[in-house]
Structure 1
Amino acid sequence: MASATPSLPMPSDDDSLQIYFELLNWVVSNGGHLHDSVQIAKDESRGVHLQVKRDWKDGVPNDTHIIKTPLATTMSYFNVMDHSSAAEDSGALIAFSAHGLHFPQAFVDAVGPKEATIFFLIGQYLRGTEGFWYPYIRTLPQPGSLTTPPYYEGEDLQWLNGTSLLSAREQRMSLLKEKYEKGSVELRQAGFQSAEEYTWDLYLWAASMFISRAFSAKVMSGVFPEKELSEENFAVLLPLIDMGNHRPLAKVEWRAGKDDVAFVVLEDVTAGQEISNNYGPRNNEQLMMNYGFCIPGNPCDHRIVSLRAPPGSPLQVAKAHQVQMHPELAGETEDHYYVFNVFYPLLAPEMSMEHSIFSPALLDAVSVLAANNRELETLEITSQGIKIPSGYGNSRALLAALSQVIIELITHAAKLRASGEDLQTPTNLKQIHAKLYRDSQIMLSETALVIAAWTLNRARQHNFTGNWDETKRLLGAHMGQIPAGKFPDEVFSRLQVRILERQSLLKSNGELFTLGELPDLLPAEMRQSCKACFQDILSISENAIPMLSGSGGSSPFAFPMFLCLVVAVYTASQSAGSEGVQLPSRLSRWASFLLENYPPPPNDVAWAVEDEDDEHMLGLFDDVLEQMRTQNAGVFTKLAPYTGDWQKDDWWLSPNWLRWGWMIGEQECVQIPVDPLRLLAAGRGGQVRLSTETYLYVPGEEY
């Protein structure tokens, strides 16, 4: 089957179409039909296809039966069994003849219905002009002419390097080889004459025909009860109907009848227009793997993300628990981890912006892997999925997940660019489609990067209210980071629409902070004292502890100190008769939340963190603070009205409180990539330098 790449039609070559006219005559002679408005045509880009005749001025209206393929011409397992059946409604006898090819029952039982049908197609191919299906089989792509990945060799195979198609090809080839070898042995052992003619090349061809052209068992539902039509083991070839090219979102239907299967268009088709089939919402990888082509700008394109739950990880444990709770899920092997095209049309109206690009299962899974212990306490496990629920304090997991997703997107695009760096101009159809596929995969990751980076960008905007004018300015600056000409105009525009048209999963803006930004959350009267205190502590500790040299605001003690300060001020403000400063509602709620989820340290036991290197550095920092308390008392005096007595043993930066803050900092911080959109300017090669920055997460109030 050819791709549906738009092109001006070329004049038809009647000689090259003769075998298709003879196929039509054969179908009609067996009781089939092609609508009078439709003709078989051929052009350079679409190959052989069906189109409305140019002189058919009224076109073809909705609900027109374009083709009727008689059941007598179909090929399925029922032909292998030489089966006859009485139609349920009329009682008429429907014969599915084997037309002279009878396999030993021992062979059929050994390999099963699906494999037996593939071998049956080989046998009918070998019958040549004597075979009943000869008019149909000779119109199929012949062995050696296919363009699916199993047929890639030599230089063609290099075009798949670095893509997931390469491993998919190897897996399919291995599976098909295994099935062929089993079938070949069983056929010989059953004593079937000419078993040696059923070669690997013919098996690969026949299997490819069923993979690319077969229809589901439902097309036989007009004759057989559903219990006899196993979707897993039953596939049907429909001559003439399977001639149609694929067009994403084409509105068509296959209707099962008691004598035939009808191909019906559910939209108006104008004169001269191609009548397309619809193979379903296939992405370019599926189109390449099963049909040997892909579509530039395929609206249904999406990328499957390979994400494995490490043994013992929260995600793996949760999945095991999910199966225990819902045993019916034990047989499901596919995880729906997708990155979607920005034009993807099959979205629910209420779906969020992030979920319109990243499947909910993907973001939920990465969120679980990125969750801290506090967030995992809220984990929801149902038959529908495993997720960190939305709620106060849990957007940290979403932000951490998006950071991880961005790293995956950048890495994926860089890998594809690097593996394709030495490829030259495509020289044949396989290479052309392999390049289209590679380019489409890079586009998926790079456009998704823009969306993910937007949500993280909002998490860094502390004064962003979200009104229309501010949104336009912020979005303009965000999109302005994309190199000129990076995306086609329609893609660039669609990215903006996708951001503006859908609600975000992130309820609040400005939840990620550097140390320099945190004091602005404090009451105005204590901001300057806080900044001066922290600056003195970090400066002195840098000089005293060599491993902190040059750390400044990125010192590992910066966030733990702020956590200790906020809780100290909150605790002091809650004491009986306190006349001290009151924290803003956001910080007050956060401090209460922290104390609830991370119990304060006891006074009678010395705490220590698990990592020995961290504990050593904390010990050195303790010494610096203790020395400052005796020699630089003024550093803490100005904060005393807010924090309480700093001279007592359990003061706000005591060893135990500092370790409490240290452990919380490890749980509540998020590392996000620095300026991820600048990596869109990376050259053709795959070399990228990705750095991250650590931010403290302070939940907003809109939860």
Structure 2
Amino acid sequence: MPSLYNSIRKLLSLKSKKIDGIMQAHRTAQDSLHAHVTLENWVTQHGGRLHNDVQFSHDENLGVHLQAKPGAVSGKVSPGTCVMKIPIELTMSFFNAIDYKPEGSNSSFSSHGVVLPKHLIERIGPEETTAFFLMGQYLRGKEGFWYPYIQSLPGPEDLTTPLYFEDGDLAWLNMTSLAVSREGRLQIWKANYERGYSILKESQFEEAHLYSWDLYLWASTIISSRAFTAKVLASVIPELETLDDKVSVLLPLIDATNHRPLSKVEWQAGTDSIGLAVMADVHAGDEVGNNYGPRNNEQLMMNYGFCIPNNPCEYRVVSLRAPPGSPLAQIKAQFEQHFPRPSKKNSKSDQEDKYYVFSLPYPLIGTSQPLEFSVFSPDLLHALSVISANDRELETVTIDEEGFRVPWEQYGNSRNLVAALNQIVIELLSYIQRLEISGRQLGEPQNLKQVYAKQFRESHISLSRTAIFIANWTITRSQGASKGDREELLNELLSRIPQHIFNSETTEQVKKRILTRKSLLSDNQCGELFRFEELFHLLSTSMQGPSRQCLEEVVTRAQRAILIDNGDEVGSGDAENGPHALFAYAAVICLFVAVKQHNPSQLTSRLRSWCDFLLAKYPAPPNDVAWTLPDENDEAVLSAYDSLINDHLPDEVLSAVTGFVGTQTPAQGKRDASEWWLSPNWLRWAWLVLEQELVMNAIDDPLEYMINGANGGMKTKNFLYVPQV
């Protein structure tokens, strides 16, 4: 079989052909293994080495990989063993493109026959120079110094990053973040290539026409998937302090190692060589892996073209925009004014920040982090808390060098934490729904690219499900009806999750995380959200029956009798969250405050504190002026309730609570006065309180939608927030 290079070089001479069309010389597994053995021999000839107890091997799952020899005398490769070493002269980087010779060092970085125009290097910078230099070395073929190395590299037909997805492959990226990342990278790389190629043409560079887009795409993919940071050259090049983040270094032989998450390795960067040592036992026959760092599956797909099922380093990036003038934008501006950050290249980034949702095994989360911060990055929760904050909570926002936050531990602010978590649940459920609906149209994967894309989709669904469960746990504990033993409640929730959603390992991970981590919602903040029918449990025993009897009758009559001018029932449609439900909450608030003002001993200390808090934050309405709500629709609804209460509500309905409110309720037809507990003014005051103190549109049952989907939409409910003392 002709060599990969000869096949490509021959077809490159046909100018009408593209590089992706000419790099189709298929290599068998044996060819690939042979190329790596040839690479090993080349490295050895130049003074490098592969340890005697390791070798290149091949199997269907791992492809070509480095392996501890099955026949190793000790039966393993011991910790501290340098498994491979290459001389500095074999590395390829920007320093080769400029023929760099460090002062006081025996090492040199030769361009080996590829001399790029200085004008090009100066204008495109180190990273792009490396890509064009690799293209030039590729075009030299057998004459090139790095020919054995380049022969071992995968061709375009072997690359599986999303940039090489086409036709049916692209459908597998729909609704995933990979689709956006792919388009973004293509735009950047295309612009970089066109700029560099234009400079080559202007410079009348020989054979500039061979530096095609397809060859650039291949070279840039090789660099992004195999290059190391310039820290490996730190012992040779002192100038790296200013160039480190802009210089990538290719390490022949060493870069043939596969990624093994969390594997323990150590770099040995000297003045004349670079080595890789294993820091844990590698038993005979096992793969000798490298550790690319805590890469999530999106990074692995975009840079390397593979995905890891159950990746312990998995996390998802969530973007939040802060529209100009919004509270989040204003608070971010204040923070950056006091604690300036480095300017961002993309102006869009000034309004869109990235936040994170982590998998449970993610290794870089400290064990002291609270439960919610072990899954959701603090910045994400704090940003959502500002988005979800009511007016009084925004007044409490603190800003320091660590960032900004609503202090949830402060009395009255735990509502905000639950509201922020509810926003996360909505986003995660919607994301799962998009992935599942689009996934049903895909069928089974037809090639390796689609296999990896399917694994990526499944990893994001799995991560989102565990995150939903954690968020729902905190939300559930915040509800007044969820009191009881924590472990018993947790087991009850977990028992609802089928095995195909949470396997036994995931179930144990979730349970351990919840029971061993302290929640941001402290124990004395649990049981603070209430449905209308649950609020009566907060009253003293003597008040519960009469109050429930009175208010349930008022609400029931309102549901039956109130008609707006065109004959439609007020609040028709959504009985849970419509105007009738809000009116019910408003009536309860009016009752509680009236008892607090006229007969406080009848209230529990919790309700007395809460009523004082409300009256301090939301001043009571005047008695001599009729209030109207600023929203015309709300005012129309309340006017209908005014009519019901004044003209159609029998005296005996309200008499049940007369002894508690401490004042005589006006008779039917004379109840438009402003000073009694269910007067028009007090109802409007309570309505305004509700706009601030409700947790609105909370997902009714997140676990149900997580298990069975939400094809018919997600039902929501409202909770009234009553903080603990």
Same fold (TM over 0.5): yes
Gaps of 5+ in 1: 1-11, 574-579
Query: Aligned match of 2:715 in 691, 694, 700?
Result: 691
Q: CA deviation at 1:661?
A: 0.5
Which residue of 1 is the match for residue 64 of structure 2?
A: 48
Measure the CA separation in 2 of the matches of 1:317 and 1:339.
24
Query: Aligned match of 1:360 in 361, 378, 395?
Result: 378
| Alignment check: 8 A CA contact 1:336 1:359 kept | no
1:69 and 2:86 matched: yes
| Alignment check: 8 A CA contact 1:218 1:229 kept | no
The one-character-per-residue Cα deviations of 1:110-159 (angstroms, maximum 9, x if unpaired) are: 21111111000000000000000111111111133211111111111111
Q: CA deviation at 1:278?
A: 0.8
Query: Aligned match of 1:185 in 182, 195, 198?
Result: 198
Measure the CA separation in 1 of the matches of 2:97 and 2:712.
56
1:612 and 2:632 matched: yes
| Alignment check: 8 A CA contact 1:482 1:680 kept | no
SS where residue 696 of structure 1 aligns?
A: strand
Q: CA deviation at 1:187?
A: 0.7
Q: Counterparts of 1:275-424 in structure 2 under 5 Å?
A: 275-331=288-344, 333=349, 335-390=353-408, 391-424=410-443
Which residue of 1 is the match for residue 465 of structure 2?
A: 446
SS where residue 170 of structure 2 aligns?
A: helix
| Alignment check: 8 A CA contact 1:519 1:530 kept | yes
> Greater CA deviation, 62-71 or 328-337?
328-337
Query: Aligned match of 1:489 in 475, 484, 504?
Result: 504
| Alignment check: 8 A CA contact 2:480 2:534 kept | no
Q: CA deviation at 1:263?
A: 1.1
Measure the CA separation in 2 of the matches of 1:268 and 1:229.
37
Query: Aligned match of 1:555 in 555, 558, 581?
Result: 581
Q: CA deviation at 1:483?
A: 3.1
> Greater CA deviation, 194-203 or 535-544?
535-544
Identity %: 47
SS where residue 101 of structure 1 aligns?
A: coil
1:503 and 2:518 matched: yes
Measure the CA separation in 1 of the matches of 2:94 and 2:688.
64
CA RMSD of superposed structures (Å): 2.0
SS where residue 690 of structure 1 aligns?
A: coil
SS where residue 556 of structure 1 aligns?
A: helix
| Alignment check: 8 A CA contact 1:548 1:555 kept | no
Query: Aligned match of 2:692 in 650, 662, 667?
Result: 667
Q: CA deviation at 1:600?
A: 1.6
SS where residue 345 of structure 1 aligns?
A: coil
The one-character-per-residue Cα deviations of 1:5-55 (angstroms, maximum 9, x if unpaired) are: xxxxxxx97664222122112212222222222111111111111111122
Which residue of 1 is the match for residue 16 of structure 2?
A: none
Q: CA deviation at 1:552?
A: 6.9
Measure the CA separation in 1 of the matches of 2:539 and 2:121.
78
Measure the CA separation in 2 of the matches of 1:83 and 1:329.
31
Q: CA deviation at 1:267?
A: 1.8
The one-character-per-residue Cα deviations of 1:599-637 (angstroms, maximum 9, x if unpaired) are: 222233332211101111112212222235xx6333333
| Alignment check: 8 A CA contact 2:51 2:82 kept | yes
- The letter of the residue matching 1:476 is N
- The letter of the residue matching 1:417 is E
1:85 and 2:102 matched: yes
Measure the CA separation in 1 of the matches of 2:688 and 2:31.
78
SS where residue 93 of structure 1 aligns?
A: coil
Q: CA deviation at 1:265?
A: 1.7
Which residue of 1 is the match for residue 683 of structure 2?
A: 658
> Greater CA deviation, 254-263 or 99-108?
254-263
Q: CA deviation at 1:398?
A: 1.1
Measure the CA separation in 2 of the matches of 1:612 and 1:386.
35
Measure the CA separation in 2 of the matches of 1:320 and 1:552.
41
Measure the CA separation in 1 of the matches of 2:260 and 2:272.
28
The one-character-per-residue Cα deviations of 1:463-492 (angstroms, maximum 9, x if unpaired) are: 624xxxx22321122112223433322112
Q: How many residues align?
A: 672
Measure the CA separation in 1 of the matches of 2:32 and 2:321.
50
Measure the CA separation in 2 of the matches of 1:261 and 1:610.
72
Which residue of 1 is the match for residue 24 of structure 2?
A: none
Measure the CA separation in 2 of the matches of 1:256 and 1:523.
74
Measure the CA separation in 2 of the matches of 1:376 and 1:498.
31
- The letter of the residue matching 2:404 is I
> Greater CA deviation, 233-242 or 263-272?
263-272
Measure the CA separation in 2 of the matches of 1:214 and 1:604.
77
Which residue of 1 is the match for residue 451 of structure 2?
A: 432
Measure the CA separation in 2 of the matches of 1:596 and 1:330.
42
Gaps of 5+ in 2: 1-27, 564-568, 667-672
| Alignment check: 8 A CA contact 1:462 1:511 kept | no
| Alignment check: 8 A CA contact 2:543 2:602 kept | no
The one-character-per-residue Cα deviations of 1:428-463 (angstroms, maximum 9, x if unpaired) are: 111111111111111111222222222222122446
| Alignment check: 8 A CA contact 2:261 2:293 kept | yes
| Alignment check: 8 A CA contact 1:682 1:688 kept | no
SS where residue 581 of structure 1 aligns?
A: helix
Measure the CA separation in 1 of the matches of 2:206 and 2:191.
22
Q: Counterparts of 1:503-522 in structure 2 under 5 Å?
A: 503-507=518-522, 508-522=525-539
